[in-house]
Amino acid sequence: MKSFASLWLGVLCLVAAATRADNIPDLFLHGGVSLNGEWKMIVDPYESGFYDYRWSQRDKDAKPSRAETFYLDVKPADAGERVEYDFDQSPSLQVPGDWNTQKRELFYYEGTIWCRRTFESPELAKGQHAFLRFGAVNYRADVYLNGQRVGTHIGGFTPFTFDVTKLLAKGTNSLVVRVDNKRAKDAVPTLNTDWWNYGGITRDVTLVATPAEYIADHRIWLESETTHAIAATVQIAGGKAGETVQVAIPELGADLSAQTDDAGKAAFHFTPAQLSLWSPDSPKLYEIRITHGEDTVTERIGFRTICTEGRSILLNGKPVFLRGICIHGEFPLNGGGRVTSPEQARQLLTWAKELNCNFVRLAHYPHCEAMTRLADEMGIFVWSEVPVYWTIDWTNEATFQNAQSQLSDNIQRDANRASIIIWSLANETPVSPARTRFLTRLAQRARALDSTRLLSAAMEKHAKDGAPEVNVVEDPLADVVDVVAFNQYVGWYDGLPGKCGRVRWEIPYNKPLFISEFGGDAKQGLHGDKSQRWTEEFQADLYRQTLPMVDKIQGLAGFSPWILVDFRSPKRVLPGIQDGFNRKGLISSEGNKKAAFYVLQEYYRQRAAAQ
């Protein structure tokens, strides 16, 4: 049986909010005015600016108190008026960025911070729309413009967009965002994670102006690696039937036009005379230009197919082995914190290329646009994940809707990225009927949005009853996904490295197998005998013994050890060793390579040469 996944390309990113607004698109390619830079902040642990002393939400009051309602951003009208806040006199934060690494006193802070930026309104032509676009805010964002509520977004890693055309004022505007990163049992992720809960406006903020009718979404995909037939759809916001849309790919000699239907959508189909397919060895990208009336968007895309056949993953019809590494969206240098720039994203992917990787698992949430666009450019496959992590509230429908919104936004944002070959539904979730129903529904949503890529999830292995050295992967979710992936830590959490040579595997699925995590901790610069935990020698020996073990697994299509770089985690408290870091990185939190880096680098060099 062949599961086929050809490349969808385009820009389609809808708003994930408390109530989704699927008619509002992502506007990443429309440019706009950057609202990055210095924002004023008020730390509000008791949420005084959001709730009154009776715990009533202030923005639901017809006349909220000027004295204490922070989003109104007012000054005293006279010397006698009581106003108990002042953004102008408050400290500043840099946006994009997290508050944990910018302000030492906020290092462990989880709660509400109000962020304010003033800006001058551009002059809009008649009929133009103005949108605010946030690349990501962790975790809940309540947005106010000029004292008026704009909307709410929940979920810390995907973009959202609000139409603010009617709220813009001539001259100076006040944009206030209440950012709340408190963890919650019914949230996604839930209370317990093994990574840092960075709070803040962590990605770009942009004010975008569009024509009355504008390009809301587009997708272009390769239908077959043999015929090279290409299809496309373009959605026009505000469009009517019979309007002209043009798609041009100059290098392919394509200059096409089509008419919109009653829903404002235009469809295209053509076969170029020649086409270079995208691959890690040759990451060919083509410039595409879409035009409708006064609106034009341009981007660079690649064409490829991805599918499974038996236990093989096929790229453009040929088997491929995924030489991977896991990556967190965290940068180790210059104080650390969330990745906030293309330069930081490029450094992480450059380290992966130095390791001889052709694949990265972007754990455990959607990473920034720069990561996936650079992966297109640099020729690196991507596993893209949502934070359904460990033990979610499986029976809570609101939790499911939250997870589904984040998954939808992730898929829709990056539907045009050649590099992404796997959408991941979850990580290390305990098997139960409720959990499997939850994840099966997510899989159905993913396939409805994008039937052209592979689905997976990082599952778990267990020891066979009565045979502790026989590892079994059995999970009803394996029947739902395309790639059976699992995390295993033989030699670290499961015995010592010597156990690797005694382990046997029983995995009963005729699907590609993928090890989504393995590894162990080492403090960079700590040396000793290979039997001594936490040393570079122990970690390197663990890799040397793990690699022959996994080579024996029939149907193994690749793996992504945990992890490229040490990352912060409040769970990791061992003094002098962890000090608040998960130390499983092959590169330290200071950017220094450990001995195990070179072990895996050489293994991947030999693997690449043999392909």
Summarize the confidence of residues 231-255 as an average pLDDT: 94
- How, if at all, do strands 312-315 and 305-309 pair? antiparallel
The tens digit of pLDDT for each residue in 373-412 reads 999 999 999 999 999 999 999 999 999 999 999 999 999 8
User: SS3 for 338-365, per residue?
Assistant: ECCCHHHHHHHHHHHHHCCCCEEEEECC
Give the position of tokens 């046997």: 504
| Average predicted confidence (pLDDT) for the chain | 93
| pLDDT score recorded for residue 13 | 27
AA identity, residue 104: R
Full DSSP string of 518-539? ----B-TT----TTSTBSHHHH
DSSP H or E segment with residue 116: strand 112-120
Residue 597 structure tokens: 């880096």
Rounded Cα distance between 564 and 591, Å, is 10
Q: Is the pLDDT of residue 273 over 50?
A: yes
| pLDDT score recorded for residue 336 | 87
- % pLDDT > 70, the chain: 96
CB 449 within 8 A of CB 8: no
Give the position of tokens 């690797």: 500
- How, if at all, do strands 172-180 and 140-145 pair? antiparallel
Rounded Cα distance between 559 and 190, Å, is 27
The tens digit of pLDDT for each residue in 568-577 reads 999 999 999 9
| pLDDT score recorded for residue 556 | 97
| pLDDT score recorded for residue 17 | 30
Rounded Cα distance between 596 and 600, Å, is 6
Query: Backbone phi, then psi, for 477, in 5-degree steps?
Result: -65, -25
Give which of 70, 87, 104 is closest to 180, Cα–Cα: 70
Query: Which is higher by pLDDT, 18 or 582?
Result: 582
| pLDDT score recorded for residue 24 | 55
Q: Is the pLDDT of residue 10 over 80?
A: no
Residue 482: half-sphere exposure toward Cβ, Cα within 13 Å: 26
Give which of 295, 238, 242, 302 is closest to 266, Cα–Cα: 242
Name the CA radius of gyration of the chain, rounded. 25
Angle formed at CA 355 by CA 351 and CA 358, multiple of 5 degrees? 95
- Which residues in 146-243 belong to E strands, given as ranges? 148-154, 160-163, 172-180, 205-210, 214-222, 230-237
pTM of the model: 0.94
DSSP bridge partners of 300: 287
CB 246 within 8 A of CB 211: no
Q: Is the pLDDT of residue 4 over 90?
A: no
Rounded Cα distance between 146 and 118, Å, is 9
| pLDDT score recorded for residue 454 | 98
AA identity, residue 610: A
Residue 350 structure tokens: 């450059």
Give the position of tokens 């998954």: 407
Taking residue 55's Cβ as centre, other Cβ atoms within 10 Å add up to: 8
Full DSSP string of 572-611? ---TTTTTTEE---SB-TTSPBPHHHHHHHHHHHHHHHH-
Rounded Cα distance between 562 and 609, Å, is 23
Considering only the C-alpha atoms of the chain, give the largest distance between any 2 of them, rounded to a whole number of Å: 80
Residues 6 or more apart in contact with residue 430 via CB below 8 angstroms: 390, 391, 460
The tens digit of pLDDT for each residue in 335-353 reads 889 999 999 999 999 999 9
In terms of residues, how long is the chain? Answer: 611
- Domains of the chain (ranges, CATH numbers): 2-13+212-307 (2.60.40.10), 28-207 (2.60.120.260), 319-610 (3.20.20.80)
Q: Is the pLDDT of residue 21 over 50?
A: no
27 falls in which pLDDT band (50, 70, 90)? Answer: confident
Residue 313 structure tokens: 């993953």
